[in-house]
Chains A and B, each alone.
Chain A
Amino acid sequence: MHIEISVPSLLSDCTNGQVKFSVEAEKLKDALSKMLETYPLLRKHLYNEEGDLRQHVLIYYNSENIVQMERLDITLQPGDRIHVLQAVSGG
């Protein structure tokens, strides 16, 4: 399953200049892992030393904030999207 991921333009130098790209995965958690494996610099900018999402970074699965989801090992559906966003609290 191809899933489309969008990232803020400020981080496009981590993703070969792209603000949208696709990864191949069956589960949401695998898609997130693939994103970080493919573009390892994203990990520095999205996650802190503890391995937690940075305070002012949001990742949405369609319209759901992933930190508020009970589980990430859900099967992806055609048309699903992942959006990496800067929270408004981050400036």
Chain B
Amino acid sequence: MGKRVMLLVGTNKGLFFYTSDHERQNWNLSGPYLSGWEVYSVLGDSRHGNRIFAGTSHAAYGPTIRVSDDFGSSWTQIEDGPSYSKESGFSLNRIWQIIKGHSSEPDTLYAGVEEAGLFVSRDRGATWRELEGLTKHSSRPNWFPGAGGMCLHTILIHPSNPHRIWVAMSAVGVFRTDDGGETWITCNKGLGRVPTGQPYDEVGYCIHKMTLDPNDSNTLYMQEHGGVFKSTDGADSWFPIEDGLNVSNNDPFGFPICTSNTGDSFLIPLESSEKRTMRDGKLLVYGMLKGSDRWEPIGDVVPNEQQHVNVLRDAATVDTLDPYGLYFGTTSGEVFYSLDRGKNWGRLPGQLSRILSVKMWILED
């Protein structure tokens, strides 16, 4: 069977697909799907047929999860999707992340939402329930949002232990469960706090994105508001990994981080928290290749062009093919890709709207 690859691109005005074969040289753009809706999260799921889950939201009409079983031709809303009770006092504003459950749980999905919380479905997405142990954590009264809202944007599952899950929230921090989500501990030792205005140092950490090393499930990487960090003990503690990021007076600021299945990690640093655009208009991708402890400016994405843009936290990804492909979308609606570990970059066709999420889906035809 041949492989078909689909790059799922969520924007603030709908969802788009780029489709190619496994060579990834020629891409066809289709969409918009779900036009007019923000698509903060998207997942292609081939565990039971081919289904796309999209976390849709709107400033006026709020969020729901929509699904398509025909590659976007038609969509249905999930009626029993994530929702907070009136008694909780929380408001569901956006669906920031939808991921598949552990490989041993083929009917399971998780969704991370704003206001920050975690939901699980055990029936392929038909019904969802909140994992209340997280929002009932003793630190909850001291959770505060970042500029993007108080979002649970990252969910990582231990590859051999479905009960160990890490989540990251902005501007709250990292939490870990070892019992499948019933109880949680904070995992923020070593990180830099951000000014949320509250004094309790258990929380108040603005995680932008976090990844798990595919070859070592005790190793995690993080782009945080105030720097770039690594953990080698399952997030019990963190230490900075910033050599080579060439910052003068500012912390290394950026949003996405992604890690390949070979252990290479990539960042797209910005000028600063205050400015949030590319330094000097240069769209540079930095990489820390496996075995190295230093970031290198690996790819000048568009050498002859000023790019005063941003790349949001979920707008970069890496596929699992060999060689792996890197992809990201900008706040100005352009999508770039590299098939040589970030050295050379191409631009995919089309000028989209503000890109919120970029996810790869590999299908066996």
The residue that B86 contacts in the complex, of A10, A45, A51, A57, with Cβ under 8 A, is A51
Q: Which of B87-95, B146-154, B319-327 binds A?
A: B87-95
Task: Indicate whether A54 reaches chain B with its CB closer than 8 angstroms.
Answer: yes
* Stretch from B56-64, B179-187, B202-210 at the A interface: B56-64
* Distance from B322 Cβ to chain A, minimum over Cβ atoms (Å): 40
Residues in A neighbouring B84, C-beta threshold 8 A: 49
Q: Distance (Å) between the CB of A43 and the closest chain B CB?
A: 10
Residue of A41, A51, A57, A87 contacting most chain B CB atoms (<10 Å): A41
Do B85 and A90 touch (CB < 8 A)?
no
User: CB within 8 Å of B: which of A8-54?
Assistant: 10-11, 13-14, 40-41, 44-46, 48-51, 54
Q: Which residue of A lies closest to B64 (CB)?
A: A44
Query: B36's closest neighbor in chain A, by CB?
Result: A10
- B37 in contact (CB, < 8 A): yes
Q: How far is the CB of B254 from chain A (nearest CB, A)?
A: 27
Residues in B whose Cβ lies below 8 Å from that of A45 = 58, 61-62, 64
Inter-chain CA distance A86–B62, complex, in Å, is 12
Main secondary structure of the interface of B (DSSP, over half): loop
Residues of A within 8 A of B77 (CB): 13-14, 41
By a CB distance below 8 angstroms, the chain A residues around B90 are 49
Cα distance A31–B37 in the bound complex, in angstroms: 28
Complex-state Cα separation, A46 to B62, whole angstroms: 8
Q: Is there an interface contact between A87 and B86, defined as CB atoms closer than 8 Å?
A: no
Tell me, yes or no, whether B75 is within 8 Å of chain A by CB. yes
Pairwise interchain contact A10-B37, C-beta atoms closer than 8 A? yes
- Measured CB to CB, the closest approach of chain A to B236, in angstroms, equals 35
CB neighbours of A51 from chain B (8 A): 86
Residues in chain A near residue B37, CB distance under 8 A = 10
Chain A interface size, as a band, is 20 to 34
- A11→B34 CA distance, assembly (Å): 11
Q: Is A78 on the interface with B (CB-CB < 8 A)?
A: no
The smallest C-beta distance from B249 to any residue of chain A, in angstroms, reads: 37
Q: Which of A13, A49, A51 has the most CB of B within 10 A?
A: A49
Q: Mark A44-71, 1 if CB is under 8 A from B, else 0.
A: 1110111100111100000000000000
Assess the A91–B86 pair: CB atoms within 8 A. Answer: no
Taking CB as reference atom, which chain A residue is nearest B91?
A49
Interchain CA distance A45-B77 in the complex, whole Å: 11
A-B contacts, 11 of them at CB < 8 A, read A10-B37, A41-B77, A44-B62, A44-B83, A45-B58, A45-B62, A46-B61, A49-B90, A57-B61, A86-B60, A91-B59
Q: Known contacts A10-B58, A13-B76, A91-B58; can you find 14 more A-B pairs with CB under 8 A?
A: A11-B61, A40-B79, A41-B64, A44-B83, A45-B62, A46-B61, A48-B62, A48-B91, A50-B86, A51-B86, A56-B59, A57-B61, A86-B60, A90-B58
